[in-house]
């Protein structure tokens, strides 16, 4: 009896709620790939996938089955263990971060005190999957991709960290639900607009998306760190990258776009449940990710580094000082 | 309580084991990866003690930044292990002597170390909630920015000096053409372009 109430039931409950988070995320990853191809098709006056199922709706499933049915090839010169672990790590990290994201008021798996630090820690670990893959493949292209990714992600993390500090100054708590609640009157993207823009661009760089996809750079590195991967190992990288995009959009939503809060606090808007607002905002961010991809050419590597270290870093540092000064001067400090 | 005890021993064992692997692994990249594992397990130990802020800062700073740079450098090393081991036997006696002296010193220090009986019980127990209801992030902030503010600032200065030192040591001006984006943006068509009417058969 004691065993059931103390150990077994909580474990079962946690496993069920993890499934309730992970399954929708994997589904949305699958359909994000379809959405990306459809949106980019529309932007380039094409149709996008349209053959498999109505409007191509079954295309992600067909892709998934294809990737699972293929043979996994491990190069003979590769470091086997690290080679296999790297994609698993990427995918694992992209999913494990969702534990602290609040989908609605109280809809969060682990409502920990230092939620934003947890998110920051997990997102800064994402580089290991790529670096390990690049090194273990024992190939020049993959290695160059890994090195590029290491330098790029470390640079952009610094400015992301500063932006998080700016938001924290306005909230006074590291808990993600508290961060959303602090935006009840005004979403943070209005007072902190420059930080919002920098944060979004940094998340694009952090997820290795175009125009910052130099670790993959298919035109110069032939696919970069993924060049030796095939079948399921490749699929895990792919899923991890898209799950990371959704995660970063979720982070933007929580930090700047008011999480589950409706845009206006009166009748027709408050009828819609918070989780729908959350999903809508995440979808809007994802659309911008794809829009950027379809619009901009790839950065040159030195331009990327210049943007991170010489533009974003000083700006975000300055904005911390400005925010802190304003909070003290006008007595707006949260308590 | 049982689970916390088990978790403590698991993480402690993993920390020590991966620490040992750091110095015994043949491949330097594996060493760094084991170092990262050791960092993770020590962060988990901090979490067990209820020090969540310290745990996550450990992961963010050491795993997220420092170890990435280690890995970055170590991956690019091309170490020839056969050459490294060449003079191994010549240095063995003196190395063993140094190791022995260190071991004896450690034993002397640790042998005289008395641990309070109560604190042994606390190893597996989480830190008690502060009476004032502060989270440990706030408690840490209150301490650092009031009582230890000078120590904190001095630590910051030391880091700044180290940073300037690293820049001074590595910065050389090379004769390379650099891209100056401000110059490019400020360039106007009338400064660099001349539009001329060229008559046929004459040239400029």
Domain extents for chain A? 1-69, 71-329
Give the one of B52, B57, B63 whose C-beta lies nearest to A113's C-beta. Answer: B52
User: Does residue B97 carry a pLDDT above 90?
Assistant: yes
Q: Does A165 touch chain B (CB under 8 A)?
A: no
The distance of Cα A146 from the centroid of its chain, to the nearest Å, equals 19
Q: Give Cα B169 distance to the centre of its chain.
A: 21
DSSP state letters, B137-193: HHHHHHHHHHTTHHHHHHHHHHHHHHHHHHHHHH----------HHHHHH--HHHH-
CB-based contact B68 A135, cutoff 8 Å: no
Tell me if A127 and B68 make a contact (CB, 8 A cut-off). yes
**Residue B137 touches chain A, beta carbons under 8 Å:** yes
B31 pLDDT more than 90: no
Of A18, A113, A106, A24, the C-alpha closest to A10 is A18
Name the DSSP class of A214. Answer: T
Amino acid B125: pLDDT: 57
State the pLDDT at residue A335: 67
Residue B30 clears pLDDT 90, i.e. is over it: no
Q: Which residue of chain A comes nearest to B70, CA vs CA? A: A150
Report residue A266: phi and psi, to 5°.
-140, -175
Contact A143 B75 (CB under 8 A): yes
Place of tokens 């930090």: A255
* pLDDT of amino acid B102: 93
pLDDT at B68: 86
Helices (H), chain B: 2-24, 28-48, 52-58, 67-76, 81-84, 88-111, 117-122, 136-146, 149-170, 181-186, 189-192
Q: What is the pLDDT of residue A4?
A: 75
Of A7, A121, A306, the CB nearest to B60: A121
Q: Extract the tokens encoding A252.
A: 């933007």
pLDDT reading at B12 higher than 80: yes
Could you tell me which chain B residue has the CA closest to the CA of A123? B64
Confidence band of B165 (pLDDT split at 50, 70, 90): very high
Other Cβ atoms less than 10 A from the Cβ of B149: the count is 11
Residue B158 has pLDDT above 90, yes or no: yes
Cβ of B76 under 8 Å from any chain A Cβ?
Answer: yes
Check: CB of residue A38 under 8 Å from CB of residue A59. Answer: no
Point out the least confidently predicted range of A118-122, A186-190, B99-103, B114-118.
Answer: B114-118
The verdict on a CB contact (< 8 Å) between B75 and A146 is yes
Say which of A7, A150, A161 has its CB closest to residue B68: A150
- Tokens describing residue B41: 């397990």
What percent of chain A is helix, strand and coil (3-state, nearest 5)? Answer: 70, 0, 30
Q: Are A34 and A42 in contact (CB under 8 A)?
A: no
Reported ipTM: the value is: 0.81
Q: What is the DSSP string of A56-104?
A: GTTHHHHHHHHHHHSPP---TTS-HHHHHHHHHHHHHHHHHGGGG--SS
Would an 8 Å CB–CB cutoff place A174 in contact with chain B? yes
Look at residue B25 and tell me whether its pLDDT is greater than 60.
yes
**pLDDT at residue number B123:** 57
Contact A90, A236 (CB under 8 A): yes
Q: Retrieve residue A152's tokens.
A: 């790029």
Q: What is the mean pLDDT of residues B27-43?
A: 89
CB-based contact A154 B68, cutoff 8 Å: yes
A86–chain B Cβ distance below 8 A for any pair = no
- What is the structure's pLDDT at A226? 80
Q: Pick out chain A residues at pLDDT < 70.
A: 1, 335
Q: Is B166 exposed, middle or buried (0-12, 13-18, 19+ CB in 10 A)?
A: exposed
Whole-number Å distance between alpha carbons of A117 and A114 = 5
pLDDT in tens, B43-86: 999 888 888 888 898 998 888 888 888 888 888 776 666 666 66
């Amino acid at each position: 009896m004691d065993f059931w109430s103390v150990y077994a039931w909580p474990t079962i409950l946690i496993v069920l709620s993890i499934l309730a988070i992970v399954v929708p995320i994997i589904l949305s990853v699958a359909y994000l790939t379809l959405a990306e191809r459809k949106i980019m098709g529309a932007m380039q006056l094409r149709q996008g996938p349209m053959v498999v199922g109505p409007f191509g709706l079954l295309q992600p499933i067909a892709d998934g089955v294809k990737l699972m049915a293929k043979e996994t090839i491990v190069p003979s010169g590769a470091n086997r263990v690290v080679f296999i672990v790297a994609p698993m790590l990427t995918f694992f990290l992209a999913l494990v971060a969702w534990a602290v994201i609040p989908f609605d008021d109280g809809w969060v798996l682990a409502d920990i005190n230092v939620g934003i630090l947890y998110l920051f820690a997990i997102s800064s670990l994402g580089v290991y999957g790529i670096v390990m893959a690049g090194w273990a493949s024992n190939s020049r292209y993959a290695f160059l991709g890994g090195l590029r990714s290491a330098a790029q992600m470390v640079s952009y993390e610094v400015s992301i960290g500063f932006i998080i500090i700016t938001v924290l100054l306005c909230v006074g708590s590291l808990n993600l639900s508290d961060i959303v609640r602090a935006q009840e009157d005004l979403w943070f993207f209005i007072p902190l607009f420059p930080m919002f823009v920098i944060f979004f661009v940094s998340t694009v760089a952090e997820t290795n998306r175009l125009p910052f996809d130099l670790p993959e750079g298919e035109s110069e590195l032939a696919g970069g760190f993924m060049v030796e991967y095939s079948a399921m190992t490749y699929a895990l990288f792919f899923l991890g990258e898209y799950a990371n995009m959704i995660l970063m959009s979720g982070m933007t939503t929580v930090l700047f776009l008011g999480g589950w809060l409706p845009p206006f606090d009166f009748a027709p808007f408050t009828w819609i449940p918070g989780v729908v607002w959350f999903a809508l905002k995440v979808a809007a961010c994802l659309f911008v990710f794809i829009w950027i991809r379809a619009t901009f050419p790839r950065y040159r590597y030195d331009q990327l580094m210049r943007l991170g270290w010489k533009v974003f870093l000083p700006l975000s540092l300055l904005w911390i000082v400005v925010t802190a000064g304003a909070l003290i001067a006008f007595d707006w400090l949260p308590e | 309580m049982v689970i916390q005890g088990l978790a403590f021993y698991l993480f402690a064992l993993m920390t020590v084991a991966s620490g040992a692997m750091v110095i015994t692994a043949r491949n330097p990249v594996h060493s760094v990866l084991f170092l990262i594992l050791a960092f993770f397990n020590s962060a988990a130990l901090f979490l067990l003690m209820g020090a969540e802020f310290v745990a996550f800062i450990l992961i963010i700073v050491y795993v997220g930044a420092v170890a990435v740079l280690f890995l970055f450098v170590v991956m690019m090393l091309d170490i020839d292990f056969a050459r490294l081991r060449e003079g191994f036997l010549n240095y063995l006696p003196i190395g063993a002597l140094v190791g022995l002296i260190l071991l004896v010193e450690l034993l002397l220090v640790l042998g005289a170390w008395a641990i309070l009986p109560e604190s042994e019980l606390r190893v597996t127990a989480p830190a008690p909630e502060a009476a004032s209801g502060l989270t440990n992030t706030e408690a840490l902030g209150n301490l650092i920015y009031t009582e230890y503010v000078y120590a904190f600032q001095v630590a910051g200065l030391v880091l700044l000096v180290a940073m300037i030192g690293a820049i001074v040591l590595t910065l050389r001006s090379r004769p390379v053409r650099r891209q100056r984006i401000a110059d490019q943006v400020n360039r106007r068509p009338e400064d660099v372009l001349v539009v001329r009417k060229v008559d046929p058969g004459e040239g400029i």
